Amino acid sequence: MKNELGNLVESIKSKVRSLNLKKGKKPYIKMDKSASVKVEIRSRKARKLIEKTLKAADTHPR
């Protein structure tokens, strides 16, 4: 069983190495983010900033 696992690991390593040699060929095309995704990312960042600001304001004594 242990030998089979070792063989499997070695074959996976070999396949990964062969893929790394073909760096000129990308296995996928990177897509740009859509406008709605960009808006969602900005709104998440804004919400986090607001939460952080409110949390800091609550911890300071008046």
> pTM of this prediction?
0.45
Q: What is the CA radius of gyration of the chain?
A: 24
For residue 5, give Cα distances in angstroms to 10, 11, 15, 16, 21: 9, 10, 15, 17, 25
Q: What is the pLDDT of residue 21?
A: 62
Rounded Cα distance between 36 and 48, Å, is: 18
Q: What is the pLDDT of residue 59?
A: 86
Above 90 in pLDDT, residue 54? yes
Above 70 in pLDDT, residue 1? no
Q: What is the pLDDT of residue 22?
A: 61
> Which tens digit of pLDDT belongs to each residue from 20-52?
666 666 666 777 889 999 999 999 999 999 999
Rounded Cα distance between 60 and 54, Å, is: 10
Kindly list the domain boundaries of the chain, sorted by start residue.
2-59
